[in-house]
Amino acid sequence: MKIKEYFPRPKERTTLLITGGAGFVGSHVVEGVLKATDWDIIVLDRLDLSGNLHRLLDIDIWETVQDRVKFFWWDLKSPLPFDIDCDYVWHLAASSHVDRSITDPLSFAMDNVIGTVNILNACRSLQPKKFIYFSTDEVFGPAPKGVAYKEWDRYNSGNPYSAAKAGGEEMAVAFANTYKIPTIVTHTMNVFGERQHPEKFIPLVIKKVLKGERVQIHSSPDKEPGIRAYIHARNICNALIFLTEKGDCLDGSGTVGKYNIVGEQEVNNLELAQKIAGIMGKDLKYDLVDFHSSRPGHDLRYALDGSLLHKMGFVYNKNFTESLEKTVNWYLDKNNAHWLWL
């Protein structure tokens, strides 16, 4: 069966397949592509805990662009029984919650490794011009102060989630080497933005501050808060478009075809929570909690070196401070409060 039989497209139009396109990052990527290009999009998603069609319906220009988006339901734990007529594939579908991966590691291996193999197998017949595997900074494990990992540094997965993403990444490399699928791998740091699941740190802080509740901040035994470099999902989309147009694919050398998409500002989680409360004009009540000792798999700091993408000429459209203020104020709008599950 061929999806193009259901979703015919003019041959002169570029078509992008996005797996996980109804998820948090995926929906922002769909939005960004619709605004920045004239491409058509096919979204593949299973609509589970993270996938939600309301994320697409809430895109501010949806009414004028929805004819460029086609949705197809599929769970990638099963092989695709159809072909998709597309030019590019961006594989964003994944299970991505560390706590759940510690509780149920097998489901993460199924989603992030087996699911990746199934979409890669499909690409053997689809023959896209480029396949992008969306990986994470967590495959490198915790980063000591002063260390920022480069694209081809060794893996040191600290939890089943990161191990499963590393497994999917290695499958993408193997398929590029074995079947010559033109492939790019990206590593991305903590992503934030509108329409994020309320279990994630930024919407969780907003929700607790609104309710006057205490916020638990991940810290070391000596009360040093966890450190991350946060990046807005719209900047992720800009980077993916940039790499689709200008990035070099894996060539078997082990030196080309991977790119770090890095937040431009490192901030510890206590500082971030304080910034959020400040934007809201409220006080922050918090506790520093040693999650790392009590719950293995929670790493204190992740860090990537983003110099490669910078040298290629990529720049972010908005900086961290602007993006954070915009995001917090979006959640505070009464029309968007349902995204906090209030």
pLDDT 10s digits, 305-320: 999 999 999 998 888 9
When pLDDT is cut at 50, 70 and 90, the band that residue 207 belongs to is very high
pLDDT 10s digits, 81-95: 888 899 999 999 999
Catalytic residue among 31, 87, 111, 138: 138
Token pair listed for 8 = 């015919």
Catalytic residue among 88, 133, 149, 161: 161
Measured CA to CA, the distance from residue 19 to residue 28 in angstroms comes to 13
Percentage with pLDDT > 90 across the chain: 79
Instruction: List every span in the chain annotated with CATH 3.40.50.720.
Output: 13-192+229-261
Percentage with pLDDT > 70 across the chain: 94
Residue 75, classified by CB atoms within 10 Å of its CB into exposed (0-12), middle (13-18) or buried (19+), is middle
> What's the rounded mean pLDDT across residues 198-213?
95
Identify residue 74 by its one-letter amino acid code.
W
Measured CA to CA, the distance from residue 340 to residue 204 in angstroms comes to 8
Give the pLDDT confidence score for residue 4 in this predicted structure: 55
Q: What radius of gyration, in Å, describes the C-alpha atoms of the chain?
A: 19
pLDDT 10s digits, 4-63: 555 555 557 899 999 999 999 999 999 999 999 999 999 999 998 778 898 999 999 999
Measured CA to CA, the distance from residue 117 to residue 77 in angstroms comes to 9
283 — phi, psi (to 5°)? -80, 150
Token pair listed for 6 = 């259901």
Task: Assess whether 161 carries a catalytic annotation.
Answer: yes
pLDDT of 232 strictly over 80: yes
Give the pLDDT confidence score for residue 7 in this predicted structure: 54
Measured CA to CA, the distance from residue 122 to residue 237 in angstroms comes to 23
When pLDDT is cut at 50, 70 and 90, the band that residue 69 belongs to is very high
When pLDDT is cut at 50, 70 and 90, the band that residue 230 belongs to is very high
275 — phi, psi (to 5°)? -65, -40
Burial 262-286 (b: 16+ CB within 10 A, else e): bbbebbbbbebbbbbbebbeeebeb
pLDDT 10s digits, 125-173: 999 999 999 999 999 999 998 999 999 999 999 999 999 999 999 999 9
Task: Assess whether 138 carries a catalytic annotation.
Answer: yes
The per-residue pLDDT of the chain, averaged, comes to 92
**How many degrees, rounded to 5, is the angle at CA 138 between CA 135 and CA 140?**
100
Task: Assess whether 133 carries a catalytic annotation.
Answer: no
Residue 17, CA distances (Å) to 3, 115, 239, 262 in order: 11, 15, 16, 24
Catalytic residue among 40, 87, 111, 137: 137
pLDDT of 193 strictly over 90: yes
Q: Architecture of domain 13-192+229-261 in CATH?
A: 3-Layer(aba) Sandwich (3.40)
Token pair listed for 236 = 């992720």
164 — phi, psi (to 5°)? -65, -40
> What's the rounded mean pLDDT across residues 264-282?
94
Measured CA to CA, the distance from residue 342 to residue 211 in angstroms comes to 9
Give the pLDDT confidence score for residue 309 in this predicted structure: 96
Superfamily of domain 201-228+265-302+319-340: UDP-galactose 4-epimerase, domain 1 (3.90.25.10)
Instruction: List every span in the chain annotated with CATH 3.90.25.10.
Output: 201-228+265-302+319-340
pLDDT of 298 strictly over 80: no
